[in-house]
Structure 1
Amino acid sequence: MTTFGQHGHSITSDSIAAAIDTPLPSSGPTYILADKLPVSTLTDSRRQTRPEAILDSEHVVNLYYSNFHPAHPILLPRHMYGQNYPSYLRLVVQFIGSHYSASQSGDPLRIQTATALKDSSERTAFMVQARLLFAIAVHARGEPNEGLAMLQDAIELAISLGMNAKSFSSSNGGSIPCLEESFRRTWWELFVVEGIMSAIHRRSMMKTTTVASEVLLPCEDSTYTDGACFSDSPTLAQFAERHFAEEEVSFSSSCYRIEAVQILSRVLSIANAEAHPDEVQAIDNSLAAWTHYVPPEKRDLISNSGEVDELLFQAHMVIHWATILLHMPRSELLSVHPTADIFCAKGDKQMPSTDTKHAHASKATDASKELSNLAAFRCPVQKHTPFFICALVIASVVQLAACTLHNCRCMYQHKDRITLVVGLLKSLSLNWACAGSVLVKIKKIAAKVLKSEHCTMTVASTQCDSCTDSGLGTSIGAEDVPWLEFFDDPTIMSFDRFAPGLLFPDEGS
């Protein structure tokens, strides 16, 4: 088996400091890596008045790298991180890291960080990174519109700088392989995050797909973490050609994540629009085929040491999410789907079925089961991307719809999955406010569905011989669904009850 990247290059913190603090030669735009004053040049009195001084910066930076970085690994590895990053990027790192702290709050940094990121004079790749990371964080805090706007700013700046060009990283990375890799990862992270946010907001077009993506694909995370980056990273075309290659080639987990979002973007293009049956089937074929092209050594998401491959985890998450978005609007599940918007699970309009509605329902329900299977992994949930919250929500909505359609014999299967999702949302709400919001909604809906008078759980009912969760042979209308009434309740449809830092409102109110 061939592996891309046989030659590595090491890097030291001194060399990265020199690259950031030294203007680039004329080979590229000098404003990308402009001189930055380290925070140590500030007077003690001035530092004491800055919000970042409130935090134990070393502690929250460690929390950022331990919990958030594995899911969105675009910044330099921890041992290369230092005061040489511009202050606004360090503010973002501290702001995000504070969400994993039990003793420190990032709320004092929220306004200042957002203000710093509005500086239009900072047209740098570091500003792109800062805005991208901040967009993810504010979305997870329950500010989806602010997160989307910040992401769009990051994408527009990246395109104007030419970060989508193959030459950008080499021209602006100071001949430092890890810094070049960081810039390459940033462009692809913009693509991935825009795809996921587009799914959440049901946007059919992605800005990052309107320009040519010539950037080389990211290397394996373990290689990047060690500070040894490959000089022969593959292109997107080389990755796509593997389907028909004579020899199986090993690619990084990031590559499969990127491909998953490519398929997701195709789903979004027809998510709420009538499409020819052949087009729907072609996209469904891509979704089904994706798993078969994950190499054997990457089939197990958990290593021998018990660590989860977070980027491959996200790739599977995106594929199952995209499957739901493709099939649920074309199934009878939509008849019992909430008609009002719920965070991360906006209501879709019914689409003409291109297959039997039962087939569409079966595929959507199976995908929701796979998402709940990801949730069953025994690993620290805070290390998953905050976007996993939205994946859990869409999985629970499908399970609740299927539960309403299904017979009583299989109620326990749905209940177990929804119980698992609720548990994960409860744990994730300790870090991200949006999980606390959807937790209240899902619990209230589940309590109504699972305590339905027409279906009582017994030992006998949990021992069915056959249970497919597909809702086959059922027909139900919205008037038969006991939980839709919750979505007319403004107290559970609004984020107003979830001010930053308030994770658990009074559920009894």
Structure 2
Amino acid sequence: MDSYLQSVSDPSSHSSSPEMYAPAVPQTAPTISPPGNPDSRGPTQTVPAACLACRGKHLKCDGSNPCSRCLSSSSECVYIASRRGYKGPRKNSTANPNKRHASDSPPSAGSESCPMLLGAQVRTTVPASMATFTRAMTIPDAPVSPFVAPPVTNSLQVFRTPYAQDINGVVATVNSQAPQRSIPEQCIDAFYFYFYPGHPAVLPKAHIMNMAKERNIEHLLAAMRWVGSLYLPIGPARATFFEETMRLLYAPETPKDGFLVQAMIIAIIGLDGCRQNDKARDILSDAERIAIELGLYTRPYATTHGCGNPRLEESWRRTWWDLFVVDGMIAGVHRQTNFLLYDFTADVGLPCEEHEYLSGKIPRPMYLEDFDDQLFSGEDREFSSFAYRVASIRNLGRMMRLPGSGFSPEESVDRIESLLSNWRLHLPKSKRDCLNKDGQLDEMMFQAFMINHACTIILHQPLSQLDSSPTRDVTACAPHRAVQSGDNFNLHTRHIISAACSISKMVTYNVPITSHTHFFTCVLTLSSIVHLSKWAAVYFIQDEEDLRQQIRLNIGALNKLSSVWRAAETAGGQVKGVAQEIYRSRKAQQNNPQFWEGLTHEQIRSTMSVDEGIMSEINLLPSAPEQVMPPP
């Protein structure tokens, strides 16, 4: 574990910035209490004695009874009189904000030993209920959410879709009279506020907290706290949450049940977003094995383990299908796994709509055979957005099994394109865009469309005639895919250009970018590769204004996502670097008179204008934030 923790010690700190796409109706985020204001600490308190456990380990003790270390390790906390003749606090002592208190986290021994302190230069006091942070421990760090100001006040206003905070119990009103919430509570709130809408498998907040009183689900809560902490400026406390998550996932006392699978799914997504892909794949393999051993993919599992609670039964169905989707997304965007779960015949029920799950009004589940037969059964059935998300990822699985299909390459591509087109053509009216009937973003349909467009690019790009060599350095999500250029754009080229444009338009929905699943990062990167390849290949661009906006949208969205996900920071930097290189190459080519042969003066002026316009707008976008080290 120590070697792994050391391997993820690449810290960064990002400044907060206003959200570029705010919805019409403002909502409020979870209250984020200041981790510790030096000006409000009062006189420095001296600890008169350390407990025996801390003395024996030569560790700092905070003097509480029991102290935080004993509390976190469930040890007996015993004090004896000190031999040093403690005489009480010094007279005329004044508050020194630069002096470390006994309850503070250990100071950094250097830039390599404690990368967890963020740009918000406030030291964090870790609650006694949390495990102790150690100097050797580092985790994949993430900066302050771009929608949250530096932690200097108790009330912060942000924008968010309302359903995740109302029914789930996330703080929906913020005022100065509200009691301060502990850091673990804030992280749970952030999990439900930002992360949960994209992967809604666990029970809603109020119900998960009640469940925690009845059975051991600390491993699940630990994973939720860690992922929630990625969105908040909590400094070194994040290392504690990460270490606790990794320990509990594999602790001997942790029950191997559906709650463990849920915890693993959350950890997989968090690790993948923090660019710890190898570790994410290891846990994915374990989660798949446990889910299969449990029979989570079978119809009886939900009712057998649902304890007669319809909402819990629905949670188990969602757990299998969310694991199925995550397995497919990792296989599709990284191209290093084979979508193992696609080959299992699952007869578990399809999930219901989000509002039905959150309200507890769970309808009788429908199944994959119902979905596949809907056109021929003559029955008028409405399937959930989650079901269309599952159907979209199944098409990705079919595409990944092409080599053994027995068809020629062209016939194989045509066969899969028929599946992708049929998925789009047969959507009911209520599912033809990413908004629900109330005008709010439907995240499940957002992901379903996102997967469909990504499949189109992955499917058609090898047969397209858009030279991909200018984008060979964009490898943050997957290895470079070499595609040779052609004299004319064929049908496959038109398919990938259309899909890339559709992905860019998805950025414009009026919700915070970080409320989407982190896998949107790699789909944006796919889209950017197509846009940049087109810009590099085409001298005179008919749709120059559209191309400019699409490249700018993608880089801007990646920049926003990088405030939480390190994978987006890397991808955004690579995309921006390639854009700058293509610009320099085009400028050099324009010095050759043969470059302009066959173009009118108006076309020449337009081409030069669009090149400079794209780069001027891209250069105005902030680069990935530089590392800012905490004060000594």
TM-score by length of 2: 0.62
The equivalences for 1:241-390 within 5 A come to 241-270=373-402, 276=408, 277-303=410-436, 305-336=438-469, 338-339=471-472, 342-348=475-481, 358-390=490-522
Deviation at 1:242, TM superposition (A): 1.2
Match of 2:228 in 1: 97
User: Does structure 1 retain, via aligned residues, the 8 Å contact 2:298–2:348?
Assistant: yes
Specify whether residues 63 and 53 from structure 1 end up closer, same or farther in structure 2 by C-alpha distance, changes over 3 A only.
farther
The equivalences for 1:13-412 within 5 A come to 45-47=70-72, 51=130, 56-82=183-209, 83-84=212-213, 86-104=217-235, 106-119=238-251, 122-203=255-336, 205-230=338-363, 232-270=364-402, 276=408, 277-303=410-436, 305-336=438-469, 338-339=471-472, 342-348=475-481, 358-409=490-541, 410-412=543-545
The equivalences for 1:463-474 within 5 A come to none
Structure 1, 247-256 or 336-345: larger mean CA deviation: 336-345
Specify whether residues 255 and 326 from structure 1 end up closer, same or farther in structure 2 by C-alpha distance, changes over 3 A only.
same
Structure 1, 337-346 or 238-247: larger mean CA deviation: 337-346
Specify whether residues 334 and 107 from structure 1 end up closer, same or farther in structure 2 by C-alpha distance, changes over 3 A only.
farther
The AA in structure 2 aligned to 1:154 is: A
The AA in structure 1 aligned to 2:298 is: A
- Matching of residue 448 in structure 1 with residue 577 in structure 2: no
Instruction: Give the match's secondary structure for 2:197.
Output: coil
The AA in structure 1 aligned to 2:388 is: Y
String of CA shifts for 1:347-379, please: whole Å, max 9, x gaps: 2355999xx961111101111111001112121
Larger % of helix: which?
A: 1
The AA in structure 2 aligned to 1:315 is: A
The AA in structure 2 aligned to 1:210 is: D
Specify whether residues 431 and 220 from structure 1 end up closer, same or farther in structure 2 by C-alpha distance, changes over 3 A only.
same
Rounded Cα–Cα distance in structure 2 between residues aligned with 1:111 and 1:274: 48
Rounded Cα–Cα distance in structure 2 between residues aligned with 1:74 and 1:217: 12
Deviation at 1:46, TM superposition (A): 1.3
Rounded Cα–Cα distance in structure 2 between residues aligned with 1:210 and 1:351: 33
Specify whether residues 340 and 433 from structure 1 end up closer, same or farther in structure 2 by C-alpha distance, changes over 3 A only.
closer
Specify whether residues 124 and 359 from structure 1 end up closer, same or farther in structure 2 by C-alpha distance, changes over 3 A only.
same
- Listed as ranges, the gaps of 5+ residues in structure 2 are 1-65, 73-126, 134-181, 592-600, 607-622
Specify whether residues 75 and 184 from structure 1 end up closer, same or farther in structure 2 by C-alpha distance, changes over 3 A only.
same
CA RMSD of aligned residues (A): 3.1
Deviation at 1:290, TM superposition (A): 0.9
String of CA shifts for 1:160-181, please: whole Å, max 9, x gaps: 1111111011111111111111
User: Does structure 2 retain, via aligned residues, the 8 Å contact 1:95–1:106?
Assistant: yes
Rounded Cα–Cα distance in structure 2 between residues aligned with 1:443 and 1:323: 24
Rounded Cα–Cα distance in structure 1 between residues aligned with 2:337 and 2:244: 33
User: Does structure 1 retain, via aligned residues, the 8 Å contact 2:465–2:485?
Assistant: no
Rounded Cα–Cα distance in structure 2 between residues aligned with 1:299 and 1:52: 47
User: Does structure 2 retain, via aligned residues, the 8 Å contact 1:272–1:351?
Assistant: no
Rounded Cα–Cα distance in structure 1 between residues aligned with 2:452 and 2:604: 30
Specify whether residues 235 and 305 from structure 1 end up closer, same or farther in structure 2 by C-alpha distance, changes over 3 A only.
closer
User: Does structure 2 retain, via aligned residues, the 8 Å contact 1:271–1:325?
Assistant: no
Specify whether residues 143 and 503 from structure 1 end up closer, same or farther in structure 2 by C-alpha distance, changes over 3 A only.
farther
User: Does structure 2 retain, via aligned residues, the 8 Å contact 1:194–1:206?
Assistant: yes
How many residues align? The count is 425
Rounded Cα–Cα distance in structure 1 between residues aligned with 2:344 and 2:550: 41
The AA in structure 2 aligned to 1:73 is: P
Instruction: Give the match's secondary structure for 2:373.
Output: helix
